[in-house]
Structure 1
């Protein structure tokens, strides 16, 4: 009987601890679909700023951003957590570094304006997430 009480207590403690571990959220910047979507928006935004031959599909971009926010909410992130993520200077720095790495992995030097703009045009032609946010002038 003495053994049963400690075992029951240990089981009860273990069961009550499980939901806390199961509900721990991944940092929003590590949620691939959110990260990749925001990176696409960031790259498209930089393309429209740097390339005279490209402009933004503003309504498409707003709709896409809202869909990312809705998805983050569905995943259990509060409005405050989402706001903190998108306004964080550290997260912005990391996203910029990730975007530059993404470009370099595709053979694009982000400092080479002609190559960067050509990349934008090719993204439009390929209908990628980045390309869908842009149009050629």
Structure 2
């Protein structure tokens, strides 16, 4: 599948003077002809013409939409991907499969030992109390300290 590169150029807005060309239409046609011949000599093929909107500034804060006429040309890419030949890599080799006896020997069994729970060793002040009702012991101690300080005042 051929791949193309594209070139977009503004369409001529004024005609070109030439010998024997007198009317405005003929001068405009001459300008188009010169543009197309110039680009075709570089290998560009005329594809189509488009009228596209262009938003431009008008004054300090305003903007206006101008319509621009452009001509689109294309040519085949010089560095096409179809010219590239990929390098074939050698097939991967399989590693030898270990038997179940070799696996048992090479992978010793490690038993996890539960860590003993020492109450009060680490207190992160977060308690899981979904089944308990009432307030937690930490909150009870905090409330008792606050009540004691208020009664002293």
Q: Taking structure 2 as the reference length, what is the TM-score of the superposition?
A: 0.17
The structure with the largest alpha-carbon Rg is 2
Structure with greater contact order relative to length (CA < 8 Å, sep ≥ 6): 1
Higher share in strand: 2
Higher share in helix: 1
Q: Taking structure 1 as the reference length, what is the TM-score of the superposition?
A: 0.19
